[in-house]
C-alpha cells in the first residue's frame, strides 16, 4: 500500500500538538559506519532542564491492547476488522498489527471521497516510521547468510507463520464491503504491508508493567545500548517518562550525545538480530548460539548416511543441533544429537 512519509523535522510539531512534552532532545539522522543507525534521539544540553524528564508521553497515546479496544468503540471500521480477525485480534500483538494496518489505510484514504477509519494521532505518526531491516524483511539472498544457524530456521518459520496469518486475515475480511473495496479488489494491501507492521511491532515494542506489549511514540526512536545513558518509567498518572541517568542523580549532562535505552538485558545476540536486525557493538558475548549439524539436502535420499540420520531423528525429540553457551569464564556445549550412540564410535548416551 502506498504510504506517505514525513520528515523527522516535522516530529516536534506533531509531538507538541499531541501534548507530548520533550525537554532538550530531538530526533535526527545519525547514520554511521559500517551499520547505518538511521534516526536517533539526540541530547541538546543548551535546551535541557535537568529537573524535568527528557520526554513525557500521555498514557492515551501508548499503543497497546487497551488503546485498541478503546478506539474500536468509536471506529466502526476498526471494530469490524477486529471482529472478523477473531482469535488473532484477541492477542495484544494481533490487535496492534491490525490497528497499524488500519492507520496506514486511514492515512491513505483521507484524500479519497470516503475515508476509512477514524483519524487519530497514530494516523500521522505511522508516516514517521521508517522501514525496519529485520531478517523477515531481508531479501532471500540476505537470509541465506543465516544458513547454518538457528536463525535461519526461526526466520523461515516466522515468514511462513506471517504468510498464513496474512492470508487468514484476508479470507476473514474479504466479504466485508469496505475491506474488499479498499484492500482486496485492487490488491492495495499486500503481504509486504503485513511484514512492515510486524517488523514495526517487534523492533519498537516495550513491555510495560500494567499495559503489556506497548509501542510508545517518540520514545521508540531511542536506540539500544547494553550500557544506556537513560531509562524510561511510568509517572504517578500512568504517563511514560524518559529520564537521563545523570538527571536522576541531580546532575546535568553537558555533552551532545545520543540518548539510549536498554531493550532487554537477558536477550541473546540471536534474539537481538531476530527482533531488531542488529547486535550491539558494545556486547561482549553472544550469550549462546545454536548451530545446525547437518545439511540433509546434500546427502540424497538414497544415502546410507541419510538412512541413519533419519533413524536417529525418530528416536530423538530434539533437532540435530549443537548449542554453544558462554558461561563467562568458559564456553560449554550441549547436544543430544551428538551424544547419541552411533555406528562409528559407539559412544554412550
* DSSP for 223-262, written as a single string: EE-SS-SEEEEE-TTS-EEEEEHHHHTT----S--B-EE-
- Relative to beta strand 230-234, strand 25-29 is unpaired
* DSSP for 320-333, written as a single string: SEEEEEE-SSSEEE
Q: What is the residue-averaged pLDDT of the chain?
A: 85
Distances (CA, A) of 345 to 49, 166, 299, 314, 338: 70, 48, 20, 20, 11
Distance of CA 288 to the CA centre of its chain: 21
User: Which pLDDT tens digit goes with each residue over 52-111?
Assistant: 999 999 999 999 999 999 999 999 999 999 999 999 999 999 999 999 999 999 988 766
For residue 61, give the 3-state DSSP assignment: helix
Q: What is the pTM of this model?
A: 0.81
Range 302-316 burial, b when 16+ CB lie within 10 A, else e: eeeebeebeebbeee
User: Which pLDDT tens digit goes with each residue over 193-237?
Assistant: 999 999 999 999 999 988 999 999 999 999 888 889 999 999 999
How confident is the model at residue 349, as a pLDDT?
42
pLDDT of residue 23 exceeding 50, the answer is yes
For residue 31, give the 3-state DSSP assignment: coil
Strands (E), the chain: 21-22, 25-29, 39-43, 55-57, 205-208, 212-215, 223-224, 230-234, 240-244, 260-261, 288-292, 321-326, 331-334
Give the pLDDT band (50/70/90) at residue 192.
very high
Does domain 1-62+216-261 match CATH 3.30.2010?
no
Q: What residue ranges of the chain are covered by domains with CATH 2.170.270?
A: 1-62+216-261
H/E segment holding residue 200: helix 191-204
Amino acid at each position: 500500500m502506498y504510504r506517505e512519509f514525513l520528515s523527522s523535522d516535522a516530529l516536534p510539531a506533531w509531538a507538541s500538538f499531541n501534548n507530548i512534552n520533550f525537554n532538550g532532545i530531538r530526533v535526527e539522522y545519525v547514520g554511521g559506519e559500517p551499520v547505518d543507525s538511521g534516526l536517533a534521539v539526540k541530547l541538546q544540553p543548551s535546551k535541557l532542564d535537568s529537573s524535568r524528564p527528557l520526554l513525557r508521553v500521555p498514557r492515551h497515546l501508548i499503543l497497546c491492547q487497551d488503546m485498541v479496544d478503546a478506539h474500536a468503540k468509536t471506529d466502526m471500521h476498526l471494530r469490524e476488522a477486529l471482529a472478523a480477525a477473531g482469535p488473532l485480534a484477541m492477542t495484544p500483538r494481533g490487535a496492534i498489527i491490525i490497528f497499524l494496518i488500519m492507520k496506514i489505510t486511514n492515512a491513505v484514504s483521507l484524500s479519497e471521497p470516503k475515508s476509512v477509519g477514524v483519524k487519530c494521532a497514530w494516523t500521522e505518526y505511522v508516516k514517521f516510521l521508517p522501514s525496519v531491516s529485520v531478517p523477515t524483511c531481508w531479501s532471500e539472498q540476505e537470509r541465506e547468510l543465516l544458513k547454518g544457524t538457528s536463525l535461519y530456521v526461526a526466520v523461515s518459520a516466522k515468514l511462513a507463520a506471517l504468510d498464513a496469518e496474512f492470508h487468514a486475515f484476508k479470507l476473514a475480511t474479504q466479504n466485508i464491503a469496505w475491506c474488499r473495496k479498499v484492500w482486496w479488489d485492487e490488491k492495495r494491501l499486500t503481504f509486504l504491508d503485513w511484514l512492515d507492521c510486524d517488523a514495526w511491532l517487534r523492533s519498537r515494542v516495550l513491555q510495560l508493567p500494567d499495559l503489556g506489549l506497548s509501542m510508545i511514540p517518540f520514545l521508540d526512536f531511542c536506540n539500544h545500548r547494553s550500557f544506556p545513558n537513560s531509562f524510561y518509567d511510568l509517572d504517578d498518572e500512568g504517563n511514560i517518562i524518559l529520564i537521563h541517568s545523570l538527571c536522576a542523580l541531580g546532575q546535568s549532562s553537558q555533552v551532545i550525545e545520543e540518548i539510549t535505552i536498554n531493550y532487554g538485558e537477558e536477550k541473546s545476540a540471536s534474539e537481538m538480530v531476530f527482533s531488531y536486525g542488529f547486535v550491539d557493538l558494545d556486547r561482549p558475548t553472544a550469550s549462546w548460539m545454536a548451530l545446525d549439524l547437518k545439511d540433509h539436502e546434500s546427502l540424497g535420499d538414497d544415502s546410507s548416511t541419510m538412512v541413519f540420520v533419519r533413524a536417529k531423528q525418530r528416536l530423538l525429540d530434539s533437532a540435530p543441533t549443537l548449542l554453544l553457551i558462554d558461561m563467562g569464564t568458559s564456553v560449554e556445549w550441549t547436544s543430544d544429537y551428538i551424544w547419541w550412540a552411533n555406528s562409528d564410535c559407539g559412544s554412550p548416551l
